[in-house]
């Protein structure tokens, strides 16, 4: 998501109102209230909400300092996300093409700063939080946390996330995911996710997955 959005921001012609409006809408559609929608900033913001409500309470019992620092990161990321949302709306209200181009340059810088902070945060979670969880929690316990997060996802956000997630997985990862779904997901859900995979994943990779899983 971050890499795709970064490319669009870098190449967008902010002098063109129509294409800029599409970009700003895709970044966030009513960010203040549409937290369950598929907008990119909304999905990024839910990273913090899901962790703080499901994972962090348990993890804080074995790593309080780390969790306190990760929550502080979340607050900083939220501030950055809101600033980008507000900047996008302000840009669309400008009548001057030159003004929009300059505002677009600043928006691109704000987004790059968010992306850098976000990736640094994600890397720290992978480097420190994941090993901490693996040391102190069993696979079934962590699976239950994951299941709780998935269960509370609205369908629109679930499929928005899957639309980004499926193309980012390699053949082995995709095969494992689809095999798990084939075993336990209701047939309509399996078909919907399979159709999404066919539409979003590189055709050669998706063909390899279908052959491995028997879809």
Question: Residue 3 corresponds to which tokens in the numbers above?
Answer: 């890499």
pLDDT at 37: 47
Residues 57 and 98 grouped into a single domain? yes
Tell me if 108 is assigned to some domain.
yes
pLDDT at 118: 93
Tell me if 22 is assigned to some domain.
yes
Residues 167 and 194 grouped into a single domain? yes
Tell me if 144 is assigned to some domain.
no
Residues 165 and 130 grouped into a single domain? no
Residues 22 and 111 grouped into a single domain? yes
pLDDT one-digit tens code per residue, 154-184 = 777 788 788 888 999 999 999 999 998 898 8
Torsion angle of C-alpha atoms 23, 25, 26, 29, degrees rounded to 10: 160
Local structure of 167: helix, strand or coil: helix
Residues 130 and 62 grouped into a single domain? yes
Question: Residue 40 corresponds to which tokens in the numbers above?
Answer: 């990119």
Local structure of 8: helix, strand or coil: helix
Tell me if 115 is assigned to some domain.
yes
Query: Which domain, by its residues, includes 190?
Result: 154-215
Residues 167 and 111 grouped into a single domain? no
pLDDT at 39: 67
Tell me if 27 is assigned to some domain.
yes
CATH number for 117:
1.20.120.520
153 CB contacts (<8 Å, ≥6 apart)? 161
Cα–Cα distance for residue pair 167/185, rounded to 1 Å = 20
Tell me if 149 is assigned to some domain.
no
Residues 133 and 169 grouped into a single domain? no
Number of folded domains that form the chain: 2
pLDDT one-digit tens code per residue, 179-209 = 988 988 888 989 999 999 999 999 999 999 9
Tell me if 16 is assigned to some domain.
yes
Taking only the tens of pLDDT, the chain with its 215 residues reads 888 888 989 999 999 999 998 888 878 754 444 444 446 777 777 888 889 999 999 999 999 999 999 999 999 998 998 899 889 889 999 999 999 999 999 999 999 999 999 999 999 999 999 999 999 999 999 989 988 888 887 777 788 788 888 999 999 999 999 998 898 888 898 999 999 999 999 999 999 999 999 98
Cα–Cα distance for residue pair 114/81, rounded to 1 Å = 7
Tell me if 148 is assigned to some domain.
no
23 CB contacts (<8 Å, ≥6 apart)? 8, 9, 12
Cα–Cα distance for residue pair 196/23, rounded to 1 Å = 22
pLDDT at 136: 96
């Amino acid at each position: 998501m971050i890499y795709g959005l970064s490319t669009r921001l870098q190449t967008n012609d902010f002098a063109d109102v129509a294409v800029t409006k599409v970009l700003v809408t895709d970044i966030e559609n009513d960010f203040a209230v549409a937290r369950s929608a598929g907008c990119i900033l909304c999905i990024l913001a839910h990273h913090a909400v899901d962790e703080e409500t499901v994972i962090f309470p348990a993890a804080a019992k074995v790593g309080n300092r780390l969790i306190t620092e990760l929550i502080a990161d979340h607050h900083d990321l939220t501030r950055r996300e809101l600033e980008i949302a507000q900047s996008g709306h302000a840009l669309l209200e400008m009548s001057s093409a030159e003004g929009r181009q300059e505002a677009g340059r600043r928006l691109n810088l704000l987004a790059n700063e968010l992306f850098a902070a976000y990736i640094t945060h994600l890397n720290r979670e992978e480097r420190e939080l994941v090993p901490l969880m693996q040391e102190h929690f069993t696979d079934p316990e962590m699976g239950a946390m994951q299941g709780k997060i998935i269960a509370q996802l609205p369908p629109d956000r679930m499929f928005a996330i899957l639309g980004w997630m499926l193309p980012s997985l390699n053949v082995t990862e995709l095969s494992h995911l689809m095999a798990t779904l084939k075993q336990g997901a209701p047939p309509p859900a399996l078909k919907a996710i399979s159709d999404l995979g066919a539409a979003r994943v590189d055709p050669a990779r998706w063909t390899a997955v279908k052959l491995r899983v028997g879809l």
